A and B are shown apart, each in its own frame.
Chain A
Amino acid sequence: MPSDQVNKVNSAQYKKMVEEQAPKSNIGKDCLMAFLFGGSLCVLGQIAFDIAKSAGLDKDLASAVSSISLITLAAILTAFNVFDDIGRIAGAGTLVPITGFANSVVASAMEFKTEGFVFGTSVKLFVIAGPVVVFGTVFSVIYGIILLILKAMVVDVGL
């Protein structure tokens, strides 16, 4: 019998069987949950922003306070083993915003502390968030260069 066949069922037929029978994620429900939880986080961020502004901070500082508040909240919820339970329901709603980044860093730090501060926590800190940092840095450089070129063109053409 060929190695990619079991009882007359070949890989192509089998893949089709699996695709048809595998239970699917409920996209409607997932999107709704992501919208509700993600939206609530935005509201929380806005509340932190407004409080910071009414306390006399300027727009940039108030934005920073808003981000820091959400990061701190996510880190605390992760440390108390609550974030993953929320994330299981909220999905992208808590994972995509800045809370997901905070969670992935804190969760890694907690998980790998058994391998020591250097080889555990420090090495594995960005094991999930690493790609976000890499792409964030690379694309900010690319956008910076594009902006620089565009500005130079604007000056050249004299617009």
Chain B
Amino acid sequence: MIRMGSTVIFDEPPVIESWASVAGNHEKKGPLGSYFDIAEEDTTFGHKTWEQSESAMQNMAFKTALEKTSFQADSIDYIFAGDLDNQCIASSFGLMSFNIPMVGLFGACSTMAEGIALSSLLLAGGAANHCAAVTSSHFCSAERQFRYPLEYGGQRPPTAQWTVTGAGATILSKSGQAVASGNPKIRAATIGRITQLGIKDINNMGGAMAPAAADTLTRFFQDTGKKPDDFDLIVTGDLGELGLSLTIQLLQAGGYDCSDRMNDCGCMVFDNKDKHYGSGGSGCGCSAIVLNSYILGQMLAGNLKNVLFIGTGALMSPTSTYQGEIIPAIAHLVHIGI
């Protein structure tokens, strides 16, 4: 491991052993619908509460990823997991049955990237041979916690985003310990700073998070000396159309033109023309299911070779919002290379 600025370069890069995604009905109908391992029309997943449904998705995502490897659950040394429900109950209840040492994370919607970055650090540091990063979000559990009851007949402004119902799991192995050694690898990770440019509008998360994405990407380019051209795809977690456009502009202001190779999981997961979804998808599950289906699949197929995956999270709570505070945001980056 080499530390350059706030970026860690992995000279013995951890390998992504397997990945899996579980998605809901709207995601199934979206442009990436056919890429998910499991996509259910019944988003209760057979459970009585939305929190149980979300837990079930995490359980299924991790189980599916594990089944794709030759390991048993006890071979996984640590799980890094988190979600949007208060006190991260979807992770605690969803992963309880596996009996694996667990590190609970709260990075809001940046959790997938955060979990992969921390897993990679532990693996590269020699503290583990196999780790997993798991996260989820559910439209219905997020709505009741952050917005209104589901049947409430209000309107959403066009900048609002639509929480993705989905869970993703990534299993990583230490370099040399991987069975699937030809799989995509984690080449570098940049941990994000808490960033804000004064946005308070709870219906404009993309606008609140764009500065964090731009800050982390800028620092990665500065730390490593790499250029946007070195990557086939630079993909953010859940900025939506407006947030993505603002991030591109903030990067241009720093001299980095990423416009021709940048995309956002929130713009990929739903049909952009359908204004039902506002500015695009959001939630921990948004970047989790897009990474753990389409992106890693394209990398394995050789269509993408170097990808920058930037998880973006808004770190507010309903309490801080009602108290009139700004929305702090964070973005964690991992460089995935085949």
Contacts and interface: CB of A to CB of B under 8 A. Distances in A.
A7 B151 contact: no
Contacts of B253: 6-9
Nearest to A104: B152
B197 A11 contact: yes
Interface string B244-255: 011001110111
Nearest to B52: A114
Range, interface on chain A: 35 or more
A22 B198 CA distance: 15
Interface residues of B, number: 37
Nearest to B247: A6
Interface in B168-186: none
A78 B246 CA distance: 38
B331 to A, nearest CB: 11
Contacts of A87: 152-155
A111 B144 contact: yes
Contacts, number: 122
A74 to B, nearest CB: 8
Nearest to B208: A18
Nearest to B196: A4
Given A17-B249, A23-B158, 4 more contacts: A6-B250, A23-B159, A95-B154, A107-B149
B234 to A, nearest CB: 15
B13 interface: no
Interface of B: 48-50, 144, 148-159, 195-199, 204, 207, 211, 214-215, 218, 242, 245-246, 249-251, 253-255, 279
A14 B50 CA distance: 37
B197 A8 contact: no
Nearest to A9: B253
A107 B151 contact: yes
B250 A111 contact: no
Contact of A25 (B158, B218, B279): B158
B325 to A, nearest CB: 14
A67 B154 CA distance: 21
B-side interface mostly:
loop
B245 A128 contact: no
A21 B153 contact: no
Given A18-B207, A25-B158, A128 B149 contact: yes
**A10, A14, A81, A100, most chain B CB atoms within 10 A:** A14
A76 to B, nearest CB: 12
Contacts of A108: 149, 152
Interface string A72-113: 000000110101101110110011000010011011101110
B329 to A, nearest CB: 11
A15 interface: yes
A7 B250 contact: yes
Contacts of A14: 197-199, 211, 246, 250
B321 to A, nearest CB: 15
28 contacts: A4-B198, A6-B197, A7-B218, A8-B253, A8-B254, A15-B199, A18-B207, A21-B245, A22-B159, A22-B207, A23-B158, A25-B158, A78-B151, A84-B150, A84-B151, A87-B152, A87-B153, A88-B155, A90-B153, A94-B153, A107-B148, A107-B153, A108-B149, A108-B152, A111-B151, A112-B144, A128-B149, A128-B152
Given A6-B211, A7-B250, A21 B151 contact: no
A15 B149 contact: no
A94 B154 CA distance: 9
Given A22-B242, A86-B153, A103-B151, A6 B198 contact: no
Contacts of B204: 18, 22
Interface in A32-53: none
The 10 closest A-B pairs by CB, nearest first: A87-B153, A7-B254, A111-B149, A11-B198, A107-B151, A14-B197, A107-B149, A23-B158, A7-B253, A114-B49
